[in-house]
Amino acid sequence: MQMRTESMRILVVGGVAAGASAATKARRANEDAEIVIFERGPYVSFANCGLPYYVSGEIQRMEDLLLMTPERFAERFRIDVRLYHEVTGIDREAHTIEVRDLRSGRTSLERYDRLILAPGARPILPPLPGITLPGVFTLTTVPDAERLREVIASRQVRRAVVVGAGFIGLEVAEAFLKQGIETHLVEKLPQLMPQMDAEMAAPLAAHLVDRGAHLHLGAEVAAFRGGVELEGVELASGELLPAEVAVVSIGVRPELGLAVDAGLEIGAAGGVVVDERMRTSDPDIYACGDVVEVVSLVTGRRVRLPLAGPANKEGRVAGANAAGGDMTFPGVVGTSIVRVCDLTAAKTGLSEREARLAGFDPLVSYTNPMDHAGYYPGGRRLAIKLVADRQTGRVLGAQIVGAQGVDKRIDVLATAIYGGMSVEDLEGLDLAYAPPYSSAKDPVIMAGFVAANEWRGEVDVVTPLELAERLDGGEPLRVLDVRTPEEYEDGHIPGAESAPLERLRDSLHRIEKSLPITVYCLVGYRSYHACKILAHHGYQVRNLSGGFMTWSQAFPDRVVRGREPVGIGR
């Protein structure tokens, strides 16, 4: 696409992920246009996603976070970048914006043919006592990260509090732990990573505790305490967490001011409404990045997804179209990933909770495969949760936690969701395999086998959460542990009877048919065979999805060690 539109003037508000992508794409689409980026901060096109790793010291030089400079924008793209310039108003009729030079204080009007709004989002700051104390931070910009690093060094910070356990909070907590700082993580909800299902976030909590973090889940901050500087964070319970530094990361709000004042349409999800060409309710104004809401490819509803991938792609589309091109942005699946010390957690599409809220009847399946062939050294287990539409088998979402190999599996699943694939399609994927990388049955394919077996009705399945509910509700049912007696004694579900798979056929005369049975093994594979044997002999039987591994991840306190008096196959 190469348009020749005479001296079109394209103005861009915000010069980071979405704004910089929009401007450069606009240039590629239109060599003649005059393109100006207004950025109120001191840097253009910086890597905000890299900030936690600058705080940790893994990225040592601040300059490495600066992907472009105004000079390079000018030389390479003939784009005029004006730093410290804040856009304060839009006159849609006159096609002008009001711009304030933050250094001189001067205000000017700038004419546009096309305007692209990419002002991002700002961190939510709760109006709590002491929130403005030096030592209380948010982490959004390069100067934020620089100040945080300076304070860590100059105050010789030994204790820190992170408020909010979303992905930025976790990355900051990791950065503190890496530096030997006593780290307290406070989260209002009873789990980390609110966008994940609780049992999938649980291993992260256990891992952080193992790494020395202090978790305060289901806890709220009441105040930041200190005189001249921060001295501690007070929880609503009254507990005081002494700290020299606190980072508040409880979410972001889109920078809607300009759009609202200009009367642009704001949607139910709280973002600027755009069409698939990233055009707002004003045909000459485009918007992209954290400020917009876009269509979820899973639910068809409009959502806000403040992530860098969508911001860059939306910016590209907005830039191309503003410059006279014709591109569309299809929507988002919602894929994210976070490293927490030695674990990685990732999610694509919907969690089980989100699927229910969206009105689906979700089919849920857990698998715990090795990330590569078990016989090749160094393999580690992945915990995978797949969520599909019980009616159609379409994959709706996936969550994966593990030490390695998480990233490529979540991306395969994200691609599957993007393509509208079903659990049966996952069974047929043709993925790369050699022992150091994967298994002949890749974890994604294995997850597909298990979910598709369930979907086709080849096996009845119960999830750990459902089993716990049934047991708690006093439902009459028998739980059989088909692992070896040694594994059983090492830890089993309360009330479960030991019935090793190898002896199951010979023990059938001791299992009456009146009670429904749930069987489990470590990950669900041996118990799948047990299910088949029992079902063949006329038993009403379900397999525990994810086996003992997922059970103990979901309910670490509901594990019994040692023998129990009962045991069918002993």
CB-wise, 262 or 364, nearer to ligand FAD?
A: 262
- Report the distance separating Cα 123 and Cα 55, nearest Å: 18
- Residue among 310 and 397 whose Cβ is closer to ligand FAD: 310
The residue (of 178 and 441) whose beta carbon lies closer to ligand FAD is 178
Rg of the chain's alpha carbons, rounded to an integer? 27
306 binding ligand FAD? (CB under 6 A): yes
**By rule CB under 6 A, what count of residues binds ligand FAD?**
31
In three-state secondary structure terms, 335 is strand
Residue number of the CB closest to ligand FAD reads: 289
CB 395, min distance to ligand FAD, A: 21
- For residues 250 and 235, what is the distance between their CA atoms, to the nearest angstrom? 15
Residue 389 half-sphere exposure toward CB, CA atoms < 13 A? 16
Do 388 and 451 meet the contact criterion of CB atoms below 8 Å apart?
Answer: yes
Select from 24, 140, 422, 552 the one that contacts ligand FAD (CB under 6 A).
140
Q: List Cβ neighbours of 174 (8 Å cut-off, separation of 6 or more).
A: 52, 56, 339, 340, 341
**Which residue is it, tokens 């202090």?**
214
**And the tokens for 479?**
């739980």
Q: Using CB under 6 A, which of 174, 199, 244, 290 touches ligand FAD?
A: 290
- Give the binding range for ligand FAD (CB under 6 A) out of 14-22, 360-368, 490-498, 513-521: 14-22
| Backbone torsions φ then ψ of 230, nearest 5 degrees | -65, 135
Smaller CB distance to ligand FAD: residue 260 or 440? Answer: 260
Q: E-assigned strands of 377-535?
A: 382-389, 395-402, 461-462, 478-481, 497-498, 517-520
Q: Which of residues 224-283 bind ligand FAD (CB under 6 A)?
A: 255, 258
Closer Cβ to ligand FAD, 55 or 541, answer by number: 55
The single residue among 10, 23, 24, 38 that binds ligand FAD, judged by CB under 6 A, is: 38
Q: Kindly list the strands in the beta sheet with 96-101, ordered across the sheet, starting from the edge strand earlier in the chain.
A: 85-91, 96-101, 107-111
Nearer to ligand FAD, 13 or 465 (CB): 13
Bridge-based pairing of strands 240-242 and 230-235 is antiparallel
332 binds ligand FAD (CB under 6 A): no
Largest CA distance in the chain: 90
Beta-bridge partners for 340 = 343
Residues 116 and 129: their CA atoms lie apart, in Å, by 37
C-alpha 319/C-alpha 12 separation (Å) is: 9
In whole angstroms, the minimum distance from the beta carbon of 226 to ligand FAD comes to 24
Q: Is 22 in the site for ligand FAD (CB under 6 A)?
A: no
CA dihedral over 362, 363, 367, 372, signed as positive or negative = negative
The one segment of 37-45, 403-411, 490-498, 548-556 that binds ligand FAD by CB under 6 A: 37-45
Out of 8, 29, 35, 40, the residue judged to bind ligand FAD by CB under 6 A:
40
**Least distance (Å) between residue 97 CB and ligand FAD:** 9
Side-chain-side CA neighbours of residue 27 (13 Å) = 18
Amino acid sitting at position 313:
K
Q: Which is nearer to ligand FAD, 48 or 518 (CB)?
A: 48
79 binds ligand FAD (CB under 6 A): no
Residue 59 interacts with ligand FAD (CB under 6 A): yes or no:
no
Q: Is 288 a catalytic residue?
A: no
Burial of 276 (0-12, 13-18, 19+ CB in 10 A): middle
Among the listed residues 49, 288, 341, 531, the single catalytic one is: 49
Residue 112 in contact with ligand FAD, rule: CB under 6 A: no
Please select the residue that binds ligand FAD; options are 189, 217, 297, 308, rule is CB under 6 A: 308
Residue from 12, 39, 395, 439 touching ligand FAD (CB under 6 A): that is 39
Quick check: 168 binds ligand FAD (CB under 6 A)? yes
87 sits near ligand FAD (criterion: CB under 6 A): yes
Which range, of 103-111, 214-222, 271-279, 305-313, touches ligand FAD by CB under 6 A? 305-313
353-412: contacts with ligand FAD (CB under 6 A): none
CA separation for the pair 24, 31 (Å, rounded): 10
Closer to ligand FAD at the Cβ: 50 or 547? 50
Q: Looking at 4-141, list the stretches that DSSP marks H as alpha helix, in order from N- to C-terminal side.
A: 17-29, 51-56, 70-77
Residues taking part in catalysis: 49
Q: Given the rule CB under 6 A, which residues bind ligand FAD?
A: 13-14, 16-19, 38-41, 48-49, 51-52, 86-87, 118-120, 139-140, 168, 255, 258, 289-290, 306-309, 311
